[in-house]
């Protein structure tokens, strides 16, 4: 069944009792739709626009899609998004300035952030950060974040999946979680390691700022890694142990501070 409604009026549809229905969002403009009699796990919903938000309410399931379409599954209680949608691979999602969006467990999403936005991820997601002030919180799943050259990014990993931050520049504040963290450093960064294994890649030619600070760096578990700088740690110009921790600089001016770390043995810090 194809739905071609509009936001000017609410389209109300009733699923076939005892049947298996697929509801296709074929609208070309934002629609408002109420579906009665929908059976999660049997009936399905599909559309060309990514699922923005999914919430349980007292009256059913509230769903918002990338184009502004609003769907209510009346009377449905306790169903996960994967039981409702026909596919767990979403079309690309764009999050615009001022919006707050949550991806769903079990889904694979590609999310592009435009302006200053807030995103909570629960699936295996790829996120393209914008040039504004973006906040990304990871509750579950694995996430790849492609940073922006000029934006401000706040990243919080609250789950146990793998978090990969492919930074391009700008200013980043990050708190890593219980899983593996991989950070390609660029711009100005302030990063707190998690309880997992965290790797910080310093890649020659990237716009790495002179002020990069890492907290909770666990010697022997977390590591710095040089790429493109030559053999071993020959690119380390100097390393010094101070009251707050270790500071080191590379031959191209890149500077990293490891707060609370007090070893200057490079083999313990680099891998």
State pLDDT tens for residues 89-137: 988 999 999 999 999 999 999 999 999 999 999 999 999 999 999 999 9
SS (H, E, C) the chain: CEECCECCEEEEEECCCCCCCEEEECCCCCCEEEEECCCECCEEEEECCCEEEEEEECCEEEEEECCCCEEEEECCCCCCHHHHECCCECCCEEECCCCEEECCCCCECEEEECCCCEEEECCCEEEECCCCEEEEEECCCCEEEECCCCCEEEEEECCCCCEEEECCCCEEEEECCCCCEEEECCEEEEEECCCCCEEEEEECCCCEEEEEEEECCCECCEEEEEECCCCCCCCEEEEEECCCEEEEEECCCCEEEEECCCCCCHHHHEC
pLDDT tens for each residue of 124-172: 999 999 999 999 999 999 999 999 999 999 999 999 999 999 999 999 9
**Percent over 70 (pLDDT), the chain:** 97
Q: Kindly report the pTM of this predicted structure.
A: 0.87
């Amino acid at each position: 069944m194809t739905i071609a409604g509009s936001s000017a009026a609410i389209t109300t549809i009733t699923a076939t009792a005892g049947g298996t229905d697929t509801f296709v969002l074929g609208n070309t403009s934002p629609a408002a739709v109420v579906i009665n009699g929908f059976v999660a796990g049997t009936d399905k919903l599909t559309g060309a626009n990514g699922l923005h938000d999914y919430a349980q309410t007292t009256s059913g399931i509230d769903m918002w899609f990338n184009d502004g379409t609003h769907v209510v599954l009346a009377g449905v209680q306790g169903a996960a998004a994967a039981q409702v949608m026909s596919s767990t691979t979403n079309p690309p999602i764009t999050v615009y300035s001022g919006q707050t969006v949550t991806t769903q467990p079990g889904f694979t999403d590609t999310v592009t952030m435009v302006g200053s936005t807030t995103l909570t991820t629960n699936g295996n997601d790829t996120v393209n950060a914008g040039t504004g002030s973006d906040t990304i919180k990871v509750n579950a799943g694995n996430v790849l974040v492609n940073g922006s050259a000029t934006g401000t990014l706040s990243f919080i990993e609250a789950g146990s999946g793998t978090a990969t931050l492919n930074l391009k520049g700008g200013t980043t504040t990050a708190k890593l979680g219980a899983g593996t963290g991989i950070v390609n450093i660029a711009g100005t960064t302030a990063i707190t390691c998690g309880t997992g294994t965290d790797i910080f890649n310093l890649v020659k030619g990237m716009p790495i700022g002179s002020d990069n600070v890492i907290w909770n760096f666990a010697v022997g578990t977390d590591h710095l890694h040089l790429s493109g700088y030559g053999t071993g740690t020959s690119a380390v110009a100097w390393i010094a142990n101070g009251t707050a921790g270790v500071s080191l600089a590379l031959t191209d001016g890149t500077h990293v501070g490891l707060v609370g770390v007090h070893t200057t043995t490079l083999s313990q810090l680099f891998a």
